[in-house]
């Protein structure tokens, strides 16, 4: 069974969010002219860096998820896409789309992830909270 990201953890800090796409191209060598590329592989991952600000109890949840559920970062896990999941669906005019009973229609997307090469790093912030920074690889 693939572990699922704990719902009790907050979303990532906006100023820490960074997504980089893995480059699936291979450059063709040319003596002159513009560069040329061909596909090196068909599936490219997305590399995401983020940090969370956690209370002491949330840090315990994160530690348990990483250490026990994901076996110190060895296992894949599922995580809501922080850039999409739970955001309001908008029409072409930018207005929120509502259901027939006037409820906001929300977007949903889940990622299949692997932990990045570096172990999560934590620092103390606001005297009683923890900032945990980490990298993940979005498989799909």
The 10s digit of each residue's pLDDT in 61-93 is 999 999 999 999 999 999 999 989 889 999 999
pLDDT at 33: 75
pLDDT band at 36 (very low <50, low <70, confident <90, very high): confident
Residue-level length of the chain: 140
Neighbours of 13 (CB within 10 A): 14
Q: Cβ(29)–Cβ(117) under 8 Å? A: no
The rounded distance, in Å, linking the Cα atoms of 61 and 67 is: 10
pLDDT band at 41 (very low <50, low <70, confident <90, very high): low
73 burial type by CB count under 10 A (0-12 exposed, 13-18 middle, 19+ buried): middle
Q: What are the CA-CA distances from residue 31 to residues 28, 35, 36, 80 (Å)?
A: 10, 9, 11, 46
The rounded distance, in Å, linking the Cα atoms of 19 and 50 is: 9
Q: What is the pTM of this model?
A: 0.81
Which of 120, 128, 115, 119 has the alpha carbon at shortest distance from 47?
Answer: 115
């Amino acid at each position: 069974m693939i572990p699922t990201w704990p719902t009790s953890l907050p979303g990532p800090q906006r100023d820490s969010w960074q997504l980089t796409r893995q480059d699936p191209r291979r450059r063709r060598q040319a003596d002159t002219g513009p560069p040329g590329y061909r596909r090196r592989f068909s599936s490219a991952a997305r590399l995401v860096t983020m940090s969370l600000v956690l209370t002491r109890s949330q840090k315990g949840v994160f530690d348990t998820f990483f250490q026990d559920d994901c076996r110190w970062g060895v296992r894949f896990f599922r995580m809501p896409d922080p850039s999409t999941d739970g955001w309001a669906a908008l029409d072409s005019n930018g207005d929120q789309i509502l259901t027939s009973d006037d409820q906001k229609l929300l977007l949903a997307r889940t990622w299949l992830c692997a932990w990045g090469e570096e172990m999560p790093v934590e620092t103390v912030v606001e005297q009683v909270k923890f900032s945990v920074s980490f990298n993940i690889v979005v498989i799909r």
